[in-house]
Amino acid sequence: MSNLCIIDHPLVQHKLSLMRQQDCSTYKFRTLTNELARLMAYEATRDFPIEDYDMMGWEGNIIQGKQIKGKTVTIVPILRAGIGMLDGVMDMLPTAKISVVGLQRDEETLQPVSYFDKFVPNVSERTALIIDPMLATGGSMVATIDLLKSKGCKDIKALVIVAAPEGVKVVNDAHPDVTIYTAALDSHLNENGYIIPGLGDAGDKIFGTV
């Protein structure tokens, strides 16, 4: 599938399998979500440009350092479950600013219902990293990308722990310029719109509202 990056790394696959286990506790699920988010942020920032600069080294001589060039980031958690990935991504990008989008999927129609959004002032100049553990029908992700683009955002990436093929297609069709990073492309959605094998309700597991 186009614009899909599956992070097929042993650490990622190991941690994801622990999350899939039925007896995974809230504490463990939350911890693993953040650990995976850290690894996904590492992969999603691989194409950030870097430049050389002069700095004083430990011997008192000028040496060359490297720094990320002209990239500012806004991390965009989709409430609620996206909050579960926020600490992990911030560990890697500590100076990033946070924009928040609140969406609740209607359990009957599976359509996202918007209840909150707050973007950083210069969001249009930033690379947006949307975070949400689950990409199911793709409705929530497309609504978030629509919102970011309506604010002028041009550089958008999506980080999801598990993706369904149905959702990937919906996002790719609507926004082919947005790359989706995922730990797994799962089999399909069930009749209730849950990803199979998936993780169950990620928000409930992160917040302990099971």
Among all residues, whose Cβ is closest to ligand PRP?
203
Q: Is 134 annotated as a binding residue?
A: yes
Residue 104 binding target from ligand URA, ligand PRP, none, CB below 5 to 8 Å by type: ligand PRP
C-alpha span between 88 and 35 (Å, rounded): 6
Q: Which region among 19-27, 54-62, 118-126, 131-139 touches ligand PRP (by CB under 6 A)?
A: 131-139
Instruction: Check whether 139 is labelled as a binding-site residue.
Output: yes
- What's the min distance (Å) between Cβ of 49 and ligand PRP? 30
Which tokens is 11 given? 């650490």
Give the one entry of ligand PRP, ligand URA, none that residue 78 binds, where binding means its C-beta sits below a cut-off of 5 to 8 angstroms depending on kind: ligand PRP
- Asked if 79 and 100 touch (Cβ cutoff 8 Å), the reply is yes
Cα 191 from Cα 177, distance rounded (Å): 29
Q: Between 88 and 133, name the residue whose CB sits nearer to ligand URA.
A: 133
Distances, alpha carbon 14 to alpha carbons 8, 17, 21, 23, 114, in Å: 10, 5, 11, 16, 34
Q: Compute how many other C-beta atoms are within 10 angstroms of the C-beta atom of residue 83.
A: 18
What part of residues 13-72 is at the interface with ligand PRP (CB under 6 A)? none
With binding defined as CB under 6 A, does residue 78 bind ligand PRP?
yes
Distance of alpha carbon 143 from its chain centroid, rounded? 15
Q: How far apart are CA 156 and CA 78, in angstroms?
A: 14
Q: Tokens 């890697």 map to which residue? A: 92
DSSP-derived secondary structure for 72-91: -EEEEEEETTTHHHHHHHHH
Q: Which is nearer to ligand PRP, 51 or 106 (CB)?
A: 106
Residues found near ligand URA in the complex (CB under 6 A) = 134, 136, 193-195, 198, 201-203
Contact of 77 with 93, CB cutoff 8 Å: no
Helix (H), strand (E) at residue 115: strand 112-118
Q: Which does 75 bind (CB under 5 to 8 A by kind): ligand URA, ligand PRP, none?
A: none
Q: Does the annotation flag 164 for ligand binding?
A: no
**If contact means CB under 5 to 8 A according to the sort of partner, which of ligand PRP, ligand URA, none does residue 194 touch?**
ligand URA
Name the site residues for ligand PRP (rule: CB under 6 A). Answer: 78, 80-81, 103-105, 110, 112, 132-141, 167, 193, 202-203
